[in-house]
Amino acid sequence: MKPCGIAPELLLTYLRLPQICKLMDLHTSASMYPAISTGDLVGLPFAHPGKGAEGKVVASIRLAFAARRKSEMLLEAAKRCVEIAIESTEKEAVAHLKDATII
């Protein structure tokens, strides 16, 4: 399924609302891998919040994704610096950080 007429970020936020998750649980099949039919999914109530609110939601979601990508990069850099500090010296680890323009 692809969102039509709304931003994917808004749809993502909507589908993660606790009330919507509860409604989806009512429609899931009782199996080891719960699934909801397309018809039941499309039948869920949706009220568009308006273009202004949609823009704010989209901006917030994009900022959150960017922050997550940055935090993952920083975590990987920190892991590498710890490895360098263990294998070599802390001084070289700090130099690696500076070279990577992370700090």
Q: How many angstroms from the chain centroid is the CA of residue 55?
A: 17
- Residue 55 is assigned to a structural domain of this protein: no
Q: Is 94 helix (H, G, I), strand (E, B) or coil?
A: helix
- DSSP string of 73-85? HHHHHHHHHHHHH
Number of domains, the chain = 1
- For the stretch 47-67, pLDDT in tens is 899 999 999 999 999 999 999
Instruction: Identify the segments of the chain with pLDDT beneath 70.
Output: 30-32, 101-103
In a domain, 90, yes or no: no
**Residue 77 belongs to some domain of the structure:** no
The whole-number pLDDT of residue 30 equals 66
Q: Is residue 61 part of a domain?
A: no
Domain presence at residue 15: yes
Q: Is residue 71 part of a domain?
A: no
The pLDDT score that the predictor gives to residue 97 is 80
pTM of model > 0.75: no
Rounded distance between C-alpha atoms, residue 11 and residue 46, angstroms: 10
> Domain span at residue 24?
1-48
pLDDT of residue 101: 59
Q: For residue 89, what pLDDT is reported?
A: 92
Whether 39 is covered by a domain: the verdict is yes
Q: Does residue 26 fall inside a structural domain?
A: yes
